[in-house]
Amino acid sequence: MNLQGKKIILGVTGSIAAYKSALLIRLLVKEGADVQVVMTQAATEFITPLTLATLSKRQVLTSFVNESTHLWNNHVDLGLWADAIIIAPATAKTLSRLASGHADDLLTTIYLSARCPIFFAPAMDVDMFLHPSTVNNIKTLLSYGNHLIAPEHGELASGLVGDGRLAEPETIVYRLRKFFAFRQVAQGKRVLITAGPTAEPIDPVRYISNRSSGKMGYAIANAFAMAGAQVTLVSGPTSIKVSDTDISVIHIQTAQQMFEATESHFEGSDLVIFSAAVADYTSEQVASQKIKKQGSAMVLNLKKTTDIAGTLGSEKKPGQLLIGFALETEKELEYAIDKMQRKNLDYIILNSLNDAGAGFAHDTNKISVIDTNKEVTHFTMKSKDEVAQDILDIVLNKWSEV
């Protein structure tokens, strides 16, 4: 079992859904996990610490100082002890405190001290879950590399029907088992990712570029690093920072620099994801001084840049996986399949500028994934961090088949 011997902190917060924590603990213990329950004071109003202590076979922690022994519950030691932290149910208040780093109780200080994967399973009424502040807090937590176990649709304690019901304990355990199984698959895999735009100079002041922000590539890099892979990110100019310091980042400016950096790491990579928006053309000559405005028009002679995915695709080794991106405005599927075949890719990820909220600069994306059999998997509009998790799942499923 993938959870055998895993040390898991279960954070329980003040929601009516806290009653499900009892079953969740039983399932985790049955899987062979060592479960330490940490409750907020509000959670103790919904289910007793005695109940959860009996099921977990450990004293439940609710404060910084143990009331019976008067010893300090060391949040740093607890954060380092855990192989995973699950916060279920996670209330809107808890999500807000976690997202802002507001550490005023034992659970939130453990969260800030932890180095392990963290999963949060929201539970609240539908309007609270859909409120922009909650949506932004979830986006923030995902951007930190945390994992969302999405709430389910159904009847809520208020009597309303909608999204917000805590995921069933069986679903939460399944997600954990899948994560640790995938982590074993990804461990030691070498992943090379390109991200962001390139900037092709015209003179010392001006350059040719595009609207790519790099958000998608950086989200993918973070997802694979969190899964245990060795990630090298070749990044064009962007203001984004990686959230995982284990990611090796190579900063470049031009398409030629990106090609050279990618080529130098290509042979040793198990997976290469070409998510950068590389300029197709660059200036034939770069002026050494700023070009002055003269006359009513200016002619700029351009030459093609190296086709990075196409060139390296022709050098693909057996067992190597290559994934490309296609951003289209017309004949999307036709052009994407053609690009995948020409460049010898295993998958092509298609997004369209015709989908509002997808493509450059947005925090969200809507993708379709096409494989070499021309089978298409469509995904709904999601945050780019969630899209990165979908891409991770596709790759890890593929690796698991080998």
Binding-site annotation, residues: 280, 290, 325, 339, 343
Return the amino acid letter for 200.
E
Q: What is the dihedral of CA 238, 242, 248, 249, to 10 degrees?
A: 10
Q: Assign 3-class secondary structure to 296-344.
A: CCCCCCEEECCCHHHHHHCCCCCCCEEEEEEEECCCHHHHHHHHHHHCC
Pair of tokens at residue 378: 């469509």
The single-letter code of the amino acid at 40 is: T
Distance CA 78, CA 82 (A): 6
Taken in order 235, 324, 320, 226, the sign of the CA dihedral is positive
> Is 210 tagged catalytic?
yes
Decide: residue 151, CB within 10 A, 0-12 exposed, 13-18 middle, 19+ buried: buried
Residue type present at position 22? A
What are 262's two structure tokens?
């990618």
Q: State how far the Cα of 351 lies from the Cα of 376, in Å rounded to an integer.
A: 12
Q: What is the DSSP letter of 253?
A: -
Annotated binding-site residues for CTP read 280, 290, 325, 339, 343
Encoding tokens for residue 181? 């199984």
235: nearest Cα among 222, 117, 369, 392: 222
Instruction: Copy the structure tokens of residue 337.
Output: 């399949």
Distance CA 326, CA 345 (A): 12
Which of 210, 354, 365, 373 is the catalytic position?
210
Q: What angle do CA 308, 386, 86 make, to 5 degrees?
A: 135
The residues carrying an active-site annotation are: 210
